[in-house]
Structure 1
Amino acid sequence: MSSVIEAELDTSSIKQILKHDSNVAFIAGGIAGAVSRTIVSPFERVKILLQVQNSSNAYNQGIFNAIKQVYQEEGVKGLFRGNGLNCIRIFPYSAVQFVVYESSKKHIFGVDGVRRNEQLTNGQRLFSGALCGGASVVATYPLDLVRTRLSIQTANLKNLQKSKAKSIVKPPGVWELLCKIFREEGNIKGLYRGVWPTSLGVVPYVAINFAVYEQLKEFMPNSKVNGRSTWNENVCKLLIGAISGGASQTLTYPFDLLRRRFQVLSMGNSELGFHYTSVTDSLITIGKTEGFKGYYKGLTANLFKVIPSTAASWLVYEFVCETMRNW
């Protein structure tokens, strides 16, 4: 009898721990990030390839043709290359964002976001979103760098010579690549190569994403049944998540492009066709050599990824939060 009581107490204690606001946000945010990125992994891979290639490269026949080409050259694994690492990276990346955002709500602005009559102002949302965006970059950037390298190292970015292509039989793994970057590219500095242009893109992107989503969410009717969202409410969350993701990504996309290019600069300037000395230099060079369209190279592929990814992320986050709080 005592063992049963102890088991019930242990279960109750676990539930109380899991229901803590920070733990709910961390778990729900991590799951939301992993699920949403896996859904759109092929678009993510193609987007990176489009971003880092120059105008004479091979992936220039449209998004779906590029996906088809990757499939023909590398099979199904090619479409999801780097996704395992991306999920490992995105779980803490997404989790940190939601934890910091919810903590900013509660501890900086004294707002309990669970109650609809207590909401942040748009300025406070932008500040909190920028804070959580910066925190997530610092926490997970080395994994993002490695994931980008993994995504392009087996790809045909320049109609490479057959001898070159044949030499890429088995690319280095995650740990091997991390150690190589650390050893050959300046230790910690190498692992954070491109973090400045990344922050210029991620911080405003996350800030706008959170601000737009929460603003649009205020217009949704409260139609929960027994603490759970109805089907109509879930559809609305998908729609406003898609809008927030599309708007924030379009506004900040040039910096996302710079983020990828700075991450791969050391992999071979002659192969990739560009070299920049600073963020300012990169913006000027892209404008001169690639025109205005150069700033938005890969945007369409990115929107195919970001819109469903952000929509799924917000829906999964809200669902997991509701499930954990009602457990």
Structure 2
Amino acid sequence: MTDVVVAVEQPNGVKQLLQRDASVAFLAGGLAGAISRTVVSPFERVKILLQVQSSSESYGGGVTSAVRQIYQEEGVKGLFRGNGLNCIRVFPYSAVQFLVYEGCKKYMFHVDDRNTDQRLSTAQRLFGGALCGGASVFATYPLDLVRTRLAIQTANLRKLQKAKANSIAKPPGVWQVMRATYLQEGGIRGLYRGVWPTNLGVVPYVALNFCVYEQLREFVPTNGDTGSSSMYMLAIGAISGGVAQTATYPFDLLRRRFQVLAMGQSELGFKYSGVIDALITIGKTEGVRGYYRGLTANLFKVIPSTAVSWLVYELARDWLRKL
């Protein structure tokens, strides 16, 4: 009789464990994304403005100069414009990434990260990272598009009206922008404008980020104190984010430009018929440096953001597992 009970209860126990692991990965990943992006929100907005500005615009004094200019014209709110929506987007975006990656480990490659003797190969890490990157993009892309447009609204209005941002009428909010995009740009297709250039950048970026981090994670001492382990994780998270973003940056620039392409091509100063045309046009009109416009601002954002994200994820995951 006892054997029968064990046989019946075991599948439920396994199911509950798997559900718990999935919930832990989702919640820890979401917290990691929201906290890390809030920390670097001012640099995120500067990066977007540098990416979509024409060569004649005024954000040319460097990252710190651009941050100072936005603060002077729009105040503290300007530095964090779009961050609320960014957190709403990043929570599921980051959560889906870690959930899918952990799922790949367990169900595709049969590796348990609690077992230090089990490790993914480089190819498996790249594949898992690519898969979770693509899944997270499709899950949250409309919010990313709207956030990008919100981030440049006041800057674009300032240019057009030759006025300071505090004298500009309040721009439309999240739902107004989303509704207008849906109605005026082809419905769902409009909300996913630029999704393919985005995947070209995000998928290899996430793949490299996860691969480099996990490769370096093997060198972190397991018998150190919590403080030193946290410093190690911050360091390798920063390295993985910096390497991955620099390698894939031109596609991130394309993503932003395609997202705002319909907002006013003559004012923004560029017009592309597709990804290949965009790459050729940028090379001809802006040179090689054009592919990396805003890279410095992006690294100011990505390096600390990725470092904080990995640290928060590891700490939150371990804490949630103990509950």
TM category (shorter chain) comes to: over 0.9
> What residue in structure 1 maps to residue 6 of structure 2?
none
> What residue in structure 1 maps to residue 183 of structure 2?
183
- Alignment-mate amino acid for residue 53 of structure 1: Q
**Counterpart check, 1:29 vs 2:33:** no
Q: Could you tell me how far 1:159 is from its partner in structure 2? A: 3.8
Q: 2: CA distance between counterparts of 1:202 and 1:196?
A: 10
- Alignment-mate amino acid for residue 227 of structure 2: W
Q: Would the aligned equivalents of 1:51 and 1:298 in 2 still touch at CA under 8 Å?
A: yes
Deviations, residues 252-287 of structure 1 (Å, cap 9, x unaligned): 000000000000000001110000000000000000
> What residue in structure 1 maps to residue 111 of structure 2?
111
Q: Could you tell me how far 1:182 is from its partner in structure 2? A: 0.3
Aligned length in residues? 309
Q: Could you tell me how far 1:297 is from its partner in structure 2? A: 0.3
Deviations, residues 66-124 of structure 1 (Å, cap 9, x unaligned): 00000111110000000000000000000000000000000011111222111110100
The within-5 A match list for 1:227-238 is 230-238=226-234
> What residue in structure 2 maps to residue 60 of structure 1?
60
Q: 2: CA distance between counterparts of 1:178 and 1:215?
A: 40
- RMSD of the TM alignment (CA)? 1.9
Q: Would the aligned equivalents of 2:158 and 2:165 in 1 still touch at CA under 8 Å?
A: no
Q: Would the aligned equivalents of 1:223 and 1:230 in 2 still touch at CA under 8 Å?
A: no
Q: 2: CA distance between counterparts of 1:128 and 1:286?
A: 32
The within-5 A match list for 1:1-327 is 20-156=20-156, 159-162=159-162, 168-223=168-223, 230-327=226-323
Secondary structure in 2 matching 1:219:
coil
Q: 1: CA distance between counterparts of 2:100 and 2:40?
A: 25
Change (3 A) 1:287 1:51: same
Q: 2: CA distance between counterparts of 1:251 and 1:163?
A: 38
> What residue in structure 1 maps to residue 8 of structure 2?
none
Show structure 1 runs of 5+ residues with no match: 1-12
Change (3 A) 1:45 1:166: closer
Q: Would the aligned equivalents of 2:101 and 2:132 in 1 still touch at CA under 8 Å?
A: yes
Higher mean Cα deviation, 132-141 or 166-175?
166-175
- Alignment-mate amino acid for residue 42 of structure 1: P
- Alignment-mate amino acid for residue 52 of structure 2: V
Secondary structure in 1 matching 2:154:
coil
% identical aligned pairs: 69
Query: Taking structure 1 as the reference length, what is the TM-score of the superposition?
Result: 0.91
Q: Would the aligned equivalents of 2:89 and 2:140 in 1 still touch at CA under 8 Å?
A: yes
- Alignment-mate amino acid for residue 23 of structure 1: S
Q: Could you tell me how far 1:163 is from its partner in structure 2? A: 6.7
Deviations, residues 46-82 of structure 1 (Å, cap 9, x unaligned): 0000000011011001100100000111110000000
Q: Could you tell me how far 1:160 is from its partner in structure 2? A: 3.1
> What residue in structure 2 maps to residue 6 of structure 1?
none
Q: 2: CA distance between counterparts of 1:81 and 1:33?
A: 17
Q: 1: CA distance between counterparts of 2:251 and 2:162?
A: 33
- Alignment-mate amino acid for residue 45 of structure 2: R
- Alignment-mate amino acid for residue 63 of structure 1: V
Query: Taking structure 2 as the reference length, what is the TM-score of the superposition?
Result: 0.92
Q: 2: CA distance between counterparts of 1:22 and 1:298?
A: 36
- Alignment-mate amino acid for residue 188 of structure 2: I
Q: 2: CA distance between counterparts of 1:168 and 1:183?
A: 25
Q: Could you tell me how far 1:157 is from its partner in structure 2? A: 7.8
Q: 2: CA distance between counterparts of 1:198 and 1:27?
A: 25
Q: 2: CA distance between counterparts of 1:57 and 1:103?
A: 45
Q: 1: CA distance between counterparts of 2:165 and 2:38?
A: 27
